[in-house]
Amino acid sequence: MRLQRQFSGQLIAIDTNTAIASGGEGRIYPIAQDPSLVAKIYHKPTDEDADKLTVMFSMPPDAPIAEPGHASIAWPIDLLHTVGGRERIVGFVMPRVNKVLPIHTFYTPKTRREQKPLFNYLYLHRTARNLAAAVNALHARGYVIGDVNESNILVTDTALVTLVDTDSFQVRDPYTGYVYRCPVGKPEFTPPELQGQTFRDIDRLPEHDLFGLGVLVFQLLMEGTHPFAGVYLGNDEPPSLEARIRSGHFPSGTKQVPYRPMPAAPPFEMLHPRLREMFVRCFEEGYRNPGARPDAKTWVSAIREAEDALLTCSKNNQHKYGNHLGRCPWCDRAKLLKGRDPFPSRQAVRGGLHLQPLKTPRKKPLPPPQVREAAPRRQQPATGLPRKLGQYQPPMLPMLSTSRAPAVPAPPPGKFERVFQDAAWGAVWGSLCLAALAGVFSTLTEGGGAILGAIFVGSIWGSFFGMMWGVFTLAPHQMLQKWVGVLLGAIWGAFFLAAIGGAVFGAINNNPEIGHAILAGAGSGVVWGCIWGAFKPPLAVPVGRVWGRRGGYLGAVWGSFLGSLAGVMLGAGYVIWEYLGRLQLTQDFVGVLLGVAIVAAGVGSIGGTISGGLFGVFGVAPKLPVSFQPSGVKGGFLGAIWGCFLGSFAGAVLGAGLSAIFPNFRTGLPLELVPVVGAIVGAGLGAIWGVISGIVWGALGKW
């Protein structure tokens, strides 16, 4: 099977006889060209699958653990479509995870003792913390797992966690509002308010995930015991686990319930006090109020606090327990389990004693453990451990500071913070642009050798810095890129010195027009930054099927951009043709040229938006040219497209509103035409400014 990666363009061959895994939705295959990646191919791919994968690809969550060669979340990093004929999305590419086992292998005492005998209680805490960090990264990005269960979480022998089956997560398209739901879920990880519900009809919330997260953390730290498992105290048939969850009967909680904890389970008091408080919040307070459940970030902090409070047993350094306890609970538990130590010592593992069957009870008392262990240990064959003993190193989460703060990645900025940042950058960019334009315009119309000198000096210094950048950062064979660096440095240097020279020239000569231009640029930049930050655009669409709702949206984007360009070119061409040979480069000519170009850009953007949206619904909207988070030339191109659309839309609304509110704008026009003219002029100004600002925003990668 030959497929093509959508955004890299790479052709890959899939051998259908080498499936790594298979499920109800599709199969996972290795990619021969890159062993670090795998491909998931759907049995029956649908258009909704393609749309959902596109949204996921466009907005990946932040990686909570920066570990080389490890992916905390097996997220789609590219889409796969068929080759030849009608291109269709049939799957996606994701990172390959190696040397992992399902999380239940580690929290179940029997399987842990058989397969990972040196995975101690500290590692279980670290696993829980890494799991909470991964969930926090998803929730910070607006995703909901939905189907939280033990099969979709893989763990390495160093406690690193990977969330898989990510294409089943609930995804909300932030631009259309459409929710791609998660239609499945396991009852034992489902919160009380969703028990018995049809998941296909429900929009999940983060607090629903937090119930499942609490269950998994409880199982990790309580030897696989489910928090709602217990001995039924009634006389009738014991209710099912789902019924106990639905009723909120948490046996280890503070409220009286018809259950007592399982006798073979570790005592609840063994947990760190803060963790006990967290579980009560999750399963008792969260029963009536799901919003009271601790969020994932709070879990990270609490687990870290409990982990830092662990002590090492003097008899067995594999025993870790909280400093709030007076004695090692694992030593007591090993006696309770008749020698089956939950965390056997390294000596016992070397001798294979941790896998020995239970001995039948003897009439005479057993010898002390150290005596019982010494003699037979030499007779037992060594077990084939997957790696040398003592090589396990629990991975540390990236530290944000040297303080005791929880080791969680900084969440991405919120919408208000992003709008504020972009507004500030817009004010700076707008002021510089208008200062430079005003300075150059004043030089051409009124004379000003100082500004020309500043531009010359700026280009010289910019060329110098561009050359230094090329010399110290680029390889010798990249000579062409070095010259590009010199050229770009000259342009940026000339721009900055033109802006500075324009501002200084205006101040020295008491020229109010330059000051007004700078203020207007700052104001326009603030408005544009707010628009860009508030309406962050999607940056990818499916290949070969851009129609319907998404096609109409994309058609409007392309229509606005192409219509604005066509309008500016036609309007400017008309003015130049009419005045060619009769006017010099004067203020009158420039004013007429700008006025006609603005009106033509407004008409083109409005007409292009409407017509492009209509045509796009029927499948004639082209796809976007580049993939997620571009920068440089591609980013500038994409920024111009989106900037024109957002700018013209905002300009049309503002222009129509302002011209209808302020009576000064009605001079010489019929009352009913005032909003129309205001919308056209506003759309033209917004489109032109959007193209310019969008190019800068995109070129710098500010998505």
Domain-embedded: residue 399: no
Q: Active-site residues: which are they? A: 147
Q: Which of 474, 505, 536 is at the close of a domain?
A: 536
pLDDT number for residue 527: 73
Highest mean pLDDT among 115-119, 331-335, 519-523, 622-626: 115-119
Yes or no: say if 602 and 653 are a contact pair by the CB < 8 Å rule: no
Highest mean pLDDT among 49-63, 165-179, 218-232, 621-635: 218-232
Domain-embedded: residue 381: no
User: Which has the minimum average pLDDT: 117-121, 228-232, 376-380, 539-543?
Assistant: 376-380
Instruction: Collect contacts of 656-663 with beta carbons under 8 A, ≥24 apart.
Output: 656/682, 658/682
DSSP, res 74 = -
Percent pLDDT > 90 in the chain is: 39
Structure tokens at 77: 């990093």
**pLDDT (mean) for 31-55:** 91
Task: Tell me how many domains the chain contains.
Answer: 5
pLDDT number for residue 354: 72
pLDDT tens column, 540-597: 554 444 556 667 777 788 888 888 888 888 888 777 777 665 655 555 666 777 788 8
pLDDT tens column, 447-464: 556 666 666 666 676 666
Structure tokens at 358: 């239970």
Domain-embedded: residue 408: no
- Asked if residue 552 and residue 666 are part of one domain, the reply reads yes
The helix/strand/coil state of 272 is coil
Domain-embedded: residue 260: yes
How far, in Å, CA of 308 to CA of 296, rounded? 18
Alpha carbon 577 to chain centroid, angstroms: 51
Core vs surface per residue 381-419: b (16+ CB within 10 A) or e: eeeeeeeeeeebebbebeeeeeeeebbbbeeeeeeeebb
Cβ-based neighbours of 190, under 8 Å, separated by 6 or more: 208, 211, 212, 242, 245
Q: With 80 as the cut, is the pLDDT of residue 134 above it?
A: yes
Looking at residue 59, which CATH number applies to its domain? Answer: 3.30.200.20
Q: Would you report the helix, strand and coil content of the chain in percent, each value rounded to 5?
A: 55, 10, 40
Q: Which of 72, 98, 124 is at the close of a domain?
A: 98
pLDDT tens column, 474-509: 444 455 555 666 677 777 677 777 777 777 766 666
Domain-embedded: residue 303: yes
Highest mean pLDDT among 320-329, 335-344, 419-428, 623-632: 320-329
Q: With 80 as the cut, is the pLDDT of residue 629 above it?
A: no
**pLDDT (mean) for 204-229:** 97
- Asked if residue 687 and residue 660 are part of one domain, the reply reads yes
CA-to-CA separations, 313 to 316, 327, 511, in angstroms, rounded:
5, 8, 80
- Asked if residue 644 and residue 499 are part of one domain, the reply reads no
Other CB atoms within a 10 A radius of the CB of residue 667 amount to 7
Structural domain containing residue 23: 1-98
Percent pLDDT > 70 in the chain is: 73
- Asked if residue 144 and residue 229 are part of one domain, the reply reads yes
pLDDT number for residue 505: 67
- Asked if residue 236 and residue 195 are part of one domain, the reply reads yes
pLDDT number for residue 667: 54
- Asked if residue 272 and residue 140 are part of one domain, the reply reads yes
User: Which has the minimum average pLDDT: 16-20, 234-238, 615-619?
Assistant: 615-619
- Asked if residue 125 and residue 55 are part of one domain, the reply reads no
- Asked if residue 457 and residue 599 are part of one domain, the reply reads no
CA-to-CA separations, 81 to 20, 47, 89, 354, 620, in angstroms, rounded:
20, 12, 4, 50, 19
Average pLDDT score, the chain = 79
Domain-embedded: residue 409: no
- Asked if residue 597 and residue 632 are part of one domain, the reply reads yes
- Asked if residue 657 and residue 523 are part of one domain, the reply reads no
Q: With 50 as the cut, is the pLDDT of residue 122 above it?
A: yes
Domain-embedded: residue 132: yes
DSSP, res 89 = E
- Asked if residue 562 and residue 689 are part of one domain, the reply reads yes
Which residue blocks in 412-547 are alpha helix, DSSP H? 415-446, 449-473, 479-508, 512-534
- Asked if residue 672 and residue 596 are part of one domain, the reply reads yes
Q: With 70 as the cut, is the pLDDT of residue 665 above it?
A: no
pLDDT number for residue 609: 84
Looking at residue 215, which CATH number applies to its domain? Answer: 1.10.510.10
Q: With 60 as the cut, is the pLDDT of residue 266 above it?
A: yes
Q: Which of 42, 66, 98 is at the close of a domain?
A: 98
pLDDT tens column, 270-306: 999 999 999 999 999 999 999 999 999 999 999 999 9
Yes or no: say if 689 and 648 are a contact pair by the CB < 8 Å rule: no
Q: With 80 as the cut, is the pLDDT of residue 152 above it?
A: yes
Domain-embedded: residue 383: no
pLDDT tens column, 419-440: 777 778 777 877 777 777 776 7
